[in-house]
Amino acid sequence: MAVVSVNNVSLYYITGDVKSIGVKEFVIKKLQGNYHVEKFWANKNITFSIDRGDMLGIIGKNGAGKSTLLKAVSGVLIPYEGKVEVKGNIAALLELTAGFDGDLTVRENTYLRGALLGYTKSFMNEMYDQIIAFAELEEFQDRQFKQLSSGMKSRLAFSIACLVNPDVLILDEVLSVGDGSFKQKSENKMREILSRGVTGLFVSHSVSQVRELCNKVLWLERGEQIILSDDVETICNCYEEYLATNQLPETEQDFQNMSQSWIDRQERMEEEKKEKKRQALIREIEKKGSDAAVEAALDVIRRRKPELLVPETVE
């Protein structure tokens, strides 16, 4: 049974209203008789469902409607058309530092965010040390939140969401926070969470993360659904080929062809890199004299392919 169901969901924003153009321009346009507003459809007729333990990766260029869709699933936005159904409690990381109070301490904000997620104080007491340790903020527990770096704030938000116990976890570009070691730790934590049966929705511009973490993928383009598939590898290949060529697939065969084109492109690029290295090696050897050239070549072989050298025998 589906944990998250999205059926023909459409959402739009109003452009040109008082909030976006200001009171002065609104009054002028009204007096001139040319005031009007327009609807910008951020999502149009999006349909998908995911089951317990699924991780859905949502890909698409900026402005494709990815974050808006996550807000609809999390309940922040109400669809103009269609219906969203979610079974279980949700932990949503849409804007990582939203919901924190800059004047409160790290400790106080941890309990505040836990309360906003619906967890009891006793539960947060049990989880607090783990949350702080995972966020690597042991030395900053009594510091005001506003004094933290943006990376530290993001680590705390990610840690709270992942170390509590949601049924559905919604992540919007959050696995890119922190340094390299924390990114790897975040990815490992996501794998652990999914292994427990938590359902996830993940937006990222890192296609490699989608490949590694997701078993389903949804591709959006200008608010419209291009494809929903469990063939993550093929769709990610096709999407990366689209980024290189700006040509959208139209048929099932197009997806296969573009996927293969991307694979071929990567192989050509790899061969080009190898050829550049070979040419650089040749130029390095040619700069030296004949004896030195032989010694240079042997040195390269010793470092890169020592198995090619025959061991000297002692008589």
Number of H helices, E strands in the chain: 11, 9
299 assigned to some structural domain: yes
Of residues 215 and 296, more confidence is placed in: 215
The secondary structure element, H or E, covering residue 223 is none
Q: Is residue 270 part of a domain?
A: yes
Would you say residue 237 lies in a domain? no
Q: Three-state DSSP class for 98?
A: coil
Q: Is the distance from CB of 114 to CB of 160 less than 8 angstroms?
A: yes
For residue 234, is it within any domain? Answer: no
User: Which tokens hold the place of 293?
Assistant: 């050239």
Q: How far is CA 192 from CA 76, 78, 196, in A?
A: 27, 31, 7
Decide if 281 is inside a domain.
yes
Query: pLDDT tens-digit profile of 109-140?
Result: 999 888 877 788 999 999 999 999 998 999 99
pLDDT tens for each residue of 213-244: 899 999 999 999 999 999 999 999 999 999 99
Q: In which domain, by residue range, is 314 found? A: 249-315
Instruction: Describe the chain by its helix, strand, coil percentages, rounded to 5.
Output: 50, 20, 30
Residue 230 belongs to a domain? no
* Total domains present in the chain: 1
Q: Is residue 312 part of a domain?
A: yes
Residue 315 has pLDDT above 60, yes or no: no
Residue-wise pLDDT for 169-218, tens only, equals 888 876 665 566 777 787 787 777 777 888 989 888 889 889 988 999 99
